Amino acid sequence: MNYDCLIIGGGISGLTCGIKCVSEGLRCGILSSGMSALHFSSGSIDLYGYHTNRKIVYQPLDYIERLIIPEGRHPYSKCGIDMIREGISFFSETLEKEGLVLYHNNDYNHFHVSTMGTVKPTYLSQRSVFNDSIKEGFKKRSKIAILNFSGFRDFYPELAAENLRKNSLFSLFDIITGEIELPLFRRTEKNPHEFRSMDIARIFDSEKYLPGIANQIVNASGGALFVGLPAFIGINNFTRIYQRLSELTGMLIYEIPTLPPSILGMRIDDALKSRFAALGGEFIAGDTVNGGEIVNGVLDHIHTENHGSTRLRSKFFVLSSGSFFSRGLVSEFNMIREPVFNLKVAASEDRREWYSPSFFQKESHPFLEYGVVTNNTLNPEDTQGATVENLFCTGAILPHYNPIREGCGGGVAISTGYFAAKKIIEGCRS
């Protein structure tokens, strides 16, 4: 097969890159071993959230331009501010074409609430997490009801409420918790505690039970203005269901991410994949790239688990295989490796330096900053130290930034994916 561009890893970074490439008429394929980190994410896109001293960054683009880009090593430095802006708008437009609108706060960060009830700055969110009515409603400092479906075990309203009450942003709110019953529960042999967010999202998608659910929500919320529900208000039909539920209850409905799998993240995954397919991209799921041949600084072909000895060729390649979580990086006893091509990695050789002593350490863990070393155009080095000109590395596999401490994972994945796409399109045209 002869591609213009073959992408290894179908997460947010690989998909953004692929969609840009096919939309410019390139022949593009994405190979992906399994589902990406989107299935575990909040579904909000972080651009830049925290200063080094953990203070909140309010204007992320401005902050990136003034303080991050001059620093030089950060993936954002390589993209440049124009590429970041362009990439983020391209990403938003892409989702909008699939009917999923992302909202931002006029270039400022807004806050979103995690499963634990902690509050985090982020840049882009779905309508059920941030929009103008939610912003206005928040100013009224009134009452919030956090509800769960009785028996559903992947969400704990009391925990979320308890943490919110401790937060100064919410000190003037009255926060209550409650339970509602799903009508379908009575007709199923399945125990509600075996339900997953997806099961419930499908029930919402069918629309059939909406009026009944809306009634229960109103009854359980004691006149609150906001109702926080675990995120499962539909998966394929989200925009419509959200609208109807808002109308039926007359309340501001807010979605809080549940334990994985995350419906908020899956909506983005669905939208990106269907956009890619609609534009003629070839998504090859369930296959792992296990190597390739680099000759004189050029990646000639790759091979995969399923395709055996067949060589897949392409003018350009992208490695967007994620971090440790997605197995784009692997740790061995005393070294950290990039398993597909054995590319040069920036990491400490002393295992003791990989992680912080406490799991939820504020400074986060050093291993999150490890990754594949690249030049300014995201091209990595092979084992002999030669730059691989037709291979680009994007997203979570890159080093020198910390997605958790800085709150910038989604933004880096999108901007670097978009940046690589631009380079590839340029390369194909010249």
Partner 1 sequence: MINLENISFDHCIKCTVCTIYCPVARETHLFPGPKQSGPDTERLRIKDPYLVDDSLKYCSNCKRCEIACPSGVKIADLIQVAKFQHLKKKIRVRDFFMSRTDLVGRLATFMSFLTNFVINLLPVKFFMDVILKIPFGRSFPKYASGTFHGWAKKKMPDQSKFRTKAVYFHGCYVNYNNHQLGKDLVDVLNAMNIGVITENEKCCGVPLIANGYIDKAKKNAAHNIQALSRALGEEGTRIVSTSSSCSYALKYEYANLLELNNATIYDKVDYITKYLYSQFETGNIPPMKPVNLRAAYHSPCHLERMGGVIYTINVLKEIPGLDLVILHSECCGIAGTYGFKKEYYEISQSIGANLFRNIEKADVEVVITDCETCKMQIEMNTPYEVLHPVQVLARAIKNNTR
Q: Which two tokens stand for residue 423?
A: 């380079």
Out of partner 1, ligand FAD, none, what residue 306 binds, judged by CB under 5 to 8 A for its kind, is partner 1
Q: Nearer to ligand FAD by C-beta: 124 or 200?
A: 124
Burial class (CB in 10 A: 0-12, 13-18, 19+), 318: buried
Nearer residue to ligand FAD within complex by CB, 203 or 345? 345
CA distance 146 to 157: 6
List 197, 281, 403, 419, residue binding ligand FAD (CB under 6 A): 403
Where in 32-71 is the site for ligand FAD (CB under 6 A)?
32-38, 40-42, 44-46
Question: 55 CB contacts (<8 Å, ≥6 apart)?
Answer: none
CB of residue 30 to ligand FAD, shortest distance in Å: 9
Q: Which stretch binds ligand FAD (CB under 6 A): 2-10, 97-105, 169-177, 223-231?
A: 2-10
Q: Which of 8, 145, 378, 421 binds ligand FAD (CB under 6 A)?
A: 8
Closest by CA to 105, choosing from 127, 84, 87, 131, is 131
Among residues 279, 289, 294, 345, the one that binds ligand FAD under rule CB under 6 A: 289
Instruction: Spell out, one character per residue from 376 to 395, where the chain touches ligand FAD: x when CB under 6 A holds, - when not.
Output: -------------------x
Q: Does 396 help bind ligand FAD (rule: CB under 6 A)?
A: yes
Q: Provide the binding-site residues for partner 1, judged by CB under 8 A.
A: 1-2, 29, 33-36, 39-40, 188-190, 194, 196, 198, 202, 260-261, 266, 274, 277, 282, 284-288, 304, 306-310, 325-327
Produce one character per residue of 156-176: b if its CB has 16 or more CB atoms within 10 Å, e if not: bbeebbebbeeeeebeebebb
Instruction: Give every CB contact of residue 2 below 8 A, 6+ residues apart in sequence.
Output: 27, 313, 314
Please report how close the Cβ of residue 315 comes to partner 1 at its closest, in angstroms: 16
φ/ψ bin of 225: left (φ > 0), alpha (ψ from -120 to 50), beta (otherwise):
alpha
Beta pairing, strands 298-304 & 330-332: unpaired
Count of all residues that appear for the chain in the document = 430
DSSP bridge partners of 108: 105
Rank residues 10 and 117 by Cβ distance to ligand FAD and give the closer one. Answer: 10
Q: Rounded to the nearest whole angstrom, what is the least distance from the CB of residue 47 to ligand FAD in the complex?
A: 8
Residue pair 378/415 in contact by the 8 Å Cβ criterion: no
Q: Is the peptide bond before 183 cis (omega within 30 degrees of 0)?
A: no
> CB-based contacts of 374: which residues, under 8 Å, 6+ apart?
78, 380, 381, 392, 393, 398
Q: Which residues contact 404 (CB under 8 A, 6 or more apart)?
A: 364, 365, 368
- Nearer Cβ to ligand FAD, position 18 or 192? 18
Residue 84 binds ligand FAD, judged by CB under 6 A: no
Is the Cβ of residue 62 or residue 282 nearer to partner 1 in the bound state? 282
Nearest residue (CB) to partner 1, 54 versus 311: 311
Residue span binding ligand FAD (CB under 6 A) among the ranges 147-155, 211-219, 319-327, 352-360: 319-327
Closer to partner 1 by Cβ: residue 206 or 375: 206
**Burial group, residue 373, by CB count within 10 angstroms (0-12, 13-18, 19+):** middle
Closer of 7 and 218 to ligand FAD (Cβ) = 7
- Dist CA 232 CA 214 (whole Å): 14
Is residue 402 involved in binding ligand FAD (CB under 6 A)?
A: no
List interacting residues with ligand FAD (CB under 6 A): 8-14, 31-38, 40-42, 44-46, 288-289, 320-322, 325-328, 340, 395-396, 403, 409-410, 413
